[in-house]
Amino acid sequence: MSWDFETDPAFQEKLDWMATFVRREVEPLDAMWGGRSIYERPMDPALRKAVQPLQDEVKAQGLWACHLGADLGGPGFGQLKLALMNEVLGRSPWAPTIFGTQAPDTGNAEILAHFGTEEQKALYLQPLLDGDIVSSYSMTEPQGGADPKVFTTRAVRDGDEWVINGWKFFSSHARWATFLIVMTVTDPDVPIYKGASMFVVPTDTPGVNIVRNVGLGDEDLNDGSHALIHYEDVRVPNDNLLGGEGQAFAVAQTRLGGGRVHHAMRAVGQVQRCLDMMCERALSRYTQGSLLADKQTVQGYIADTYAELMQFRLLVLYTAWRIDKVQDYAAVRHDIAAIKVLTPKVLHDAVQRAIQVHGALGISNELPLAQMWRGAAAQGVIDGPTEVHRISIARQLLKRYRPVEGMWPSEWIPAKVDAAQEKFAHLIEDEVANL
């Protein structure tokens, strides 16, 4: 049989080590430093001292930057093993950083690995893989969001340089980044899919102006992680063009296909954490004459969360398996879009139920649920809004079908009866002849 739902025992040992390590060593970072970012480490020596030994231990275990192939310094595990690992990492906000798989650095590293010059790889890629610097992906714009067809940021060729002008919004971690990867319009007279180009831009380049650092939800104004950037006559050499002029979408696909899968993988771990919290609370809290575990509504919450988690998890694992099988993100585009659509919904519903079971404590800042609820909302817009991915799924699936000829659907029963009567007519005739 080719179907198998068991994990290789040797790799299961790695997963078990990860689970113990994250629980004992990484989750205390969540408690001690809360929502603070590893990207603030130059400003906090104590944080850096806490993080570095854990990263070194992960590297010693051969589990650092596992999203990368062996040629890029990773173990080359593939997406299926990475999915199982990310279930563990998804339980802790700090875990991806400790294991060298934090966004957006993962995708940016892949872009540089495929399209960067040897000098850029030495200057940016290796320090990025080592965890010594961070980066930012600067694509979306204030007026157009994630729709490239209305992008206005332009790059114009001037001799051996390009001059970039325009605005970008929600460029995550730009305030701490050493470099940005910027999508621009280089030819406005052709369709955007042929007229957009990608550049690597050092953040200290004159004209890179971070106007505001946008936060999420109740974070302090201008103290968030997502920059509004004004590119004003920013000059970069021609070598900073990634993948060639007009190749921005090919470059972007290098990072977005894997990134969307990784978000879903980590969401599996978060939903499992919600289920664990619900079950623990249900067995611990006595109110209105009985345990919460004895109340049918709570039982329904638990059952629905488990069923949705298992469906979601299996689709994520199947999608990862398909990517490893065909080695082509484009061929698995509809499945990647499907798990991207499900991620915010399944996560939101699990978090919402867990909040209800915990009552006032659930919405407080003394549990991680409120932060997870905000993260579920963010999943609906990052790496493309859910609505766009729904359209993508439908379009990809419709290509597999053809319209029916004639007036009636192919499943129209009267036609099936006529066909069946014709198919079995000789049997009926023989039976009649024998009477």
- Check whether residue 299 and residue 372 sit in a common domain: yes
pLDDT in tens, 363-411: 998 999 998 999 899 898 887 889 989 999 999 999 999 999 999 999 9
CATH number where 42 lies: 1.10.540.10
Mean pLDDT throughout 40-63?
82
Write down which residue in 202, 217, 242 finishes a domain. Answer: 242
- Check whether residue 319 and residue 185 sit in a common domain: no
Q: Which two tokens stand for residue 299?
A: 């039982």
Helix/strand/coil percent split, the chain, to 5: 55, 15, 30
Write down which residue in 224, 242, 260 finishes a domain. Answer: 242
Residue 432: the pLDDT is 64
CATH number where 334 lies: 1.20.140.10
Residue 384: the pLDDT is 81
- Check whether residue 328 and residue 387 sit in a common domain: yes
- Check whether residue 86 and residue 204 sit in a common domain: no
Residue 113: the pLDDT is 84
Tell me whether residue 433 is in a domain.
Answer: no
Residue 426: the pLDDT is 84
Q: Is the link from the previous residue into 104 a cis peptide, with omega within 30 of 0?
A: yes
Residue 435: the pLDDT is 62
Q: Which two tokens stand for residue 413?
A: 């029963």
Rounded to a whole number, what is the distance in angstroms from the first to the last CA of the chain? 49
The domain of 374 spans 250-398
- Check whether residue 272 and residue 236 sit in a common domain: no
Q: Are strands 286-287 and 290-291 parallel, antiparallel or unpaired?
A: antiparallel
Tell me whether residue 413 is in a domain.
Answer: no
Q: Band the pLDDT of 346: cuts 50, 70, 90.
A: very high
Tell me whether residue 406 is in a domain.
Answer: no
Residue 58: the pLDDT is 95
Alpha carbon distance 91, 94 (integer Å): 9
pLDDT in tens, 133-176: 889 999 999 987 878 899 999 999 999 999 999 999 999 999 99
SS (H, E, C) 310-339: HHHHHHHHHHHHHHHHHCCCHHHHHHHHHH
Is pLDDT at 39 greater than 80 in this prediction?
no
Q: Band the pLDDT of 431: cuts 50, 70, 90.
A: low
Tell me whether residue 85 is in a domain.
Answer: yes
Number of folded domains that form the chain: 3
Burial of 313 (0-12, 13-18, 19+ CB in 10 A): buried
Mean pLDDT throughout 302-318?
97
- CA torsion sign for 116, 119, 124, 129 is positive
Tell me whether residue 89 is in a domain.
Answer: yes
pLDDT in tens, 241-279: 999 999 998 888 766 666 778 889 999 999 999 999 999
- Check whether residue 364 and residue 266 sit in a common domain: yes
The residue type at 71: D
- Check whether residue 212 and residue 264 sit in a common domain: no
- Check whether residue 205 and residue 285 sit in a common domain: no
- Check whether residue 102 and residue 227 sit in a common domain: no
Is pLDDT at 433 greater than 80 in this prediction?
no
Tell me whether residue 380 is in a domain.
Answer: yes
Asked which of 230-239, 343-352, 393-402, 422-431 is least confident by mean pLDDT, the reply is: 422-431
Of 402, 405, 111, the closest CA to residue 242 belongs to: 111
Mean pLDDT throughout 323-343?
91
- Check whether residue 260 and residue 393 sit in a common domain: yes
Residue 400: the pLDDT is 93
**Position with higher pLDDT, 353 vs 77:** 353
Write down which residue in 175, 210, 242 finishes a domain. Answer: 242
Tell me whether residue 229 is in a domain.
Answer: yes
- Check whether residue 376 and residue 257 sit in a common domain: yes
Tell me whether residue 130 is in a domain.
Answer: no
CATH number where 167 lies: 2.40.110.10
Q: What is the mean pLDDT of the chain?
A: 90
Asked which of 45-54, 156-165, 169-178, 319-328 is least confident by mean pLDDT, the reply is: 45-54
- Check whether residue 145 and residue 184 sit in a common domain: yes
